[in-house]
Structure 1
Amino acid sequence: MWTKIVPITALIASVALSGGTAHAEPTTPVGGAALGSRGLVIPAGVKKPPTSKATSYVIADADTGQVLAAKDAHGKYLPASTIKALTALTLIPKLDKNQKVRPSQNACNQEGSAVGLTPKVTYKVDDLFKALMMASGNDAAMALAETNGGVPQTMRDMNALAKRLQAYDTVAKTPSGLDQPGQSSSAYDLALIARAGLANPDFRRYISTKTTRFPAPKGHYEISNHNKLLWRYDGMIGVKNGYTSKARASFVGAATRGGHTIVVSIMRHEGFFWDEVASLLDWGFSVRGKAQPVGQLVNPLPDPALAAPPARAPATPANSVTPAAQPPLLDTAASRQSDSTRTVGALVIGGGLLFGLVWLGLGIRRRRARSRL
């Protein structure tokens, strides 16, 4: 068991160009060397966290990003429906919440947990997000993905956002979390995703709503949030739980007390975990600010659109360019991080620009050589 604190190390990053976008390829554990341990990692001089049957977990201070304790933080496991937090985080800024959607039969026929969508009803996107995050509707996940241009496009968007968050353990294959070969996440990544989501007011509204009326062919019916701690734990904000027979139980949640927020994520739990999560949250509140952290929830990387702005067009009224704005939820999440991790994005982007210039120079020389033939 680790009790000695290992200082947070800078990421050694290599840069690969893919479609003109630079991506970090970390060679050390994201968030600190100690987080690479498969065993329990806790600060020296504090009591152990309560026992948990989870194979992997992270307890973190959402305000500072400090990881207070971890067990196999970067272990890759099937995420089940906790991946819906990434689905929501990706699509909330992209879809108009007042847009009307008539779901396809394919969406309505999704297996597993469902809210009961029907092609006979037109739903607002806002309704679908409630169904996604409250009732864990796989049908709602598919309807939202189809509204975003289809599953392939939504997977590209989700995985691009995961990379921007530096959630490198996460590979999304479905918008719902239904098991697929190659799909994965980690307790560390779930904490990163949750922390970014908490900065978005709509995300917070969906995850914290206990019950709501949902459209039906004749009127409405009531749906309830699957997160039992919303009723049991003082200050619980919410986030997402999940379960499949292969993934077993997973959960990521956040609670606020005394103006401070703690995030707990667990993966591959075999049984009833609600009381364990409550105890882990209690422990996080008890040691927050009193112990040296064992790691750090890192900053989101800068928006590639801002890092490499398009070439200027002639300044005429008919031809003007407006740079894409960075999603405010990620701006806010980054602003809450500590200075200890802000150098990571600069290293990655700086390396990416240097590599890009070299690549461009080689391309120009090759074109000139061909022109002489």
Structure 2
Amino acid sequence: MWTKLVPVTALIASVALTGGTAHAEPTTPVGGEALGSRGLVAPAGVKKPPKSKATSYVIADADTGQVLAAKDAHGHYLPASTLKTLTALTLIPKLDKNRKIKPSRNACNQEGSAVGLSPKVSYKIEDLFRALMMSSGNDAAMALAETNGGVAKTMADMNAEAKRLQAFDTVAKTPSGLDEKGQRSSAYDLALIARAGLANPDFRRYISTKTAKFPAPKGHYEISNHNKLLWRYDGMIGIKNGWTSKARASFVGAATRGGHTIVVSIMRHEGFFWDEVSKLLDWGFSVRGKAAPVGRLVDPLPATALAGPHTAATATPTTAPSGGASVTPAAQPPLLDTAASKQTDSTKMVGSIVIGGGLLFGLIWLGFGIRRRRGRSGL
């Protein structure tokens, strides 16, 4: 019953995204059919990846885009502060890094991890990006969002950027990654976002900085990067780690050795993961070029695809490395609650009932030709 109802969600999503006109249903997860598996997907003929306590992960060659191994690559989980990678990638091109601003009291009083912003101090935008990516400052995230025109506009921009990247598992609700109902991402999407970020010189500079001076009411103080692998792993470039009590630990990182870059993303890990990530990176370097990939990190959509009336659900499929399968948004069950626990047969049945109701409602809309527009904050 579950598998029969999955295409229905794709149909309803297509209707919602394209103003009431149904289009071809997605049949293959983004990056290749194998990445739709909830279990481990690894190449034959080489040693298996090291064991990890992460519920979901992706190991990929950032240079070629080849996914070398994955586990529940498209599973939807709470991203915690790894979502700041999307915040940075979205806002770096929009904000002048040399501009100075004074943050609002609202920005300075954000809960969770903070760099310690003061409404009495003027900060360069690049200071705020360092605070965002090095110290995981939720206060810096809010200050940047407000400078961009407010939280609502920034969420719309971030979700638009996610669609441009074909990170269709991602829905951003906060600029900081603090848990919010409906917010989600996937290990696959974190790897996509990371790969795009590595191509941006400023993004790359912020994530790789180990320590920096940061403005204070009197002089400055030193901040350090939360990514411990910058000090421990040979060739580590950096990127971002995250944690909340609901999301548990998440991480996305990249390292370069011998002129090649490997990206590893993990989600829903219960504890200390640095050694595990190091071993996953080692494995990626050891098998790249020696085994057939299990999928690929797709390229961003062209601007013309986003400018027209059709969006993610109707984007032109690209070709997977195997040559045969098309790459389209994944037609997968909704996994919003998997940040709390893995799905069971009973939870899948509940999901089927929800989807069945959605089908009836969607077909009624189709029958009357009613069109609706997408909300500003995305899916």
TM-score range, shorter chain: 0.7 to 0.9
8 Å contact kept, 1:15–1:24: no
TM-score norm. by structure 1 comes to 0.78
8 Å contact kept, 1:58–1:264: yes
Shift of residue 28, structure 1, vs aligned partner: 2.0
Q: 1:353 aligns to what?
A: none
Question: Equivalent residues in 2 for 1:201-280 (5 A)?
Answer: 201-280=201-280
Q: Alpha carbons of 1:206 and 1:64: their partners in 2 closer, same or farther (altered >3 Å)?
A: same
CA–CA separation in structure 2 for the residues paired with 1:178 and 1:225: 19
- Counting matched residue pairs gives 308
8 Å contact kept, 2:33–2:325: no
List per-residue Cα deviations over 1:334-362 (Å, max 9, x = no partner).
Answer: xxx979699869xxxxxxxxxxxxxxxx9
Q: Alpha carbons of 1:305 and 1:125: their partners in 2 closer, same or farther (altered >3 Å)?
A: farther
Shift of residue 27, structure 1, vs aligned partner: 3.5
Q: 1:371 aligns to what?
A: none
Q: Alpha carbons of 1:341 and 1:308: their partners in 2 closer, same or farther (altered >3 Å)?
A: farther
CA–CA separation in structure 2 for the residues paired with 1:243 and 1:185: 14
Aligned-pair identity in percent equals 84
8 Å contact kept, 1:107–1:142: yes
Q: Alpha carbons of 1:302 and 1:16: their partners in 2 closer, same or farther (altered >3 Å)?
A: farther
Code of the residue aligned with 1:131 in structure 2: it is: A
CA–CA separation in structure 1 for the residues paired with 2:80 and 2:306: 33
Q: 2:176 aligns to what?
A: 176
CA–CA separation in structure 2 for the residues paired with 1:206 and 1:339: 36
Q: Does 1:60 align with 2:60?
A: yes
Q: 1:87 aligns to what?
A: 87
RMSD after superposition: 2.7
CA–CA separation in structure 2 for the residues paired with 1:17 and 1:169: 15
CA–CA separation in structure 1 for the residues paired with 2:36 and 2:181: 24
Shift of residue 26, structure 1, vs aligned partner: 3.7
Larger Rg: 1
Q: Alpha carbons of 1:47 and 1:343: their partners in 2 closer, same or farther (altered >3 Å)?
A: closer
Q: 2:51 aligns to what?
A: 51
Q: Give 3-state SS (helix, strand or coil) of 1:268's partner.
A: strand
Code of the residue aligned with 1:127 in structure 2: it is: D
Q: 1:151 aligns to what?
A: 151
Question: Equivalent residues in 2 for 1:126-205 (5 A)?
Answer: 126-205=126-205
Q: Does 1:37 align with 2:37?
A: yes
Q: 2:122 aligns to what?
A: 122
Code of the residue aligned with 2:116 in structure 1: it is: G
Q: Alpha carbons of 1:107 and 1:306: their partners in 2 closer, same or farther (altered >3 Å)?
A: closer
Q: Alpha carbons of 1:66 and 1:102: their partners in 2 closer, same or farther (altered >3 Å)?
A: same
Shift of residue 303, structure 1, vs aligned partner: 1.1
Q: Alpha carbons of 1:200 and 1:289: their partners in 2 closer, same or farther (altered >3 Å)?
A: same
Q: Which has the higher contact order (CA 8 A, sep 6+)?
A: 2
Q: Give 3-state SS (helix, strand or coil) of 1:34's partner.
A: helix
- Show structure 2 runs of 5+ residues with no match: 1-9, 310-319, 329-368, 370-379
Q: Give 3-state SS (helix, strand or coil) of 1:130's partner.
A: helix
TM-score norm. by structure 2 comes to 0.76
Q: Give 3-state SS (helix, strand or coil) of 2:34's partner.
A: helix
Q: Give 3-state SS (helix, strand or coil) of 1:146's partner.
A: helix
Question: Equivalent residues in 2 for 1:14-33 (5 A)?
Answer: 26-33=26-33
List per-residue Cα deviations over 1:79-126 (Å, max 9, x = no partner).
Answer: 000000000000000000011110000000000000000001000000
Q: 2:6 aligns to what?
A: none
Code of the residue aligned with 2:215 in structure 1: it is: P
Q: 1:294 aligns to what?
A: 294
8 Å contact kept, 1:14–1:26: no
CA–CA separation in structure 2 for the residues paired with 1:148 and 1:24: 36
Q: Give 3-state SS (helix, strand or coil) of 2:280's partner.
A: helix
Q: Alpha carbons of 1:254 and 1:74: their partners in 2 closer, same or farther (altered >3 Å)?
A: same
CA–CA separation in structure 1 for the residues paired with 2:28 and 2:147: 38
Q: Give 3-state SS (helix, strand or coil) of 1:116's partner.
A: coil
Q: Alpha carbons of 1:71 and 1:63: their partners in 2 closer, same or farther (altered >3 Å)?
A: same
Q: Give 3-state SS (helix, strand or coil) of 1:193's partner.
A: helix
CA–CA separation in structure 2 for the residues paired with 1:45 and 1:86: 35
Shift of residue 194, structure 1, vs aligned partner: 0.1
Code of the residue aligned with 1:149 in structure 2: it is: G
Q: Alpha carbons of 1:17 and 1:113: their partners in 2 closer, same or farther (altered >3 Å)?
A: closer
Code of the residue aligned with 2:244 in structure 1: it is: T
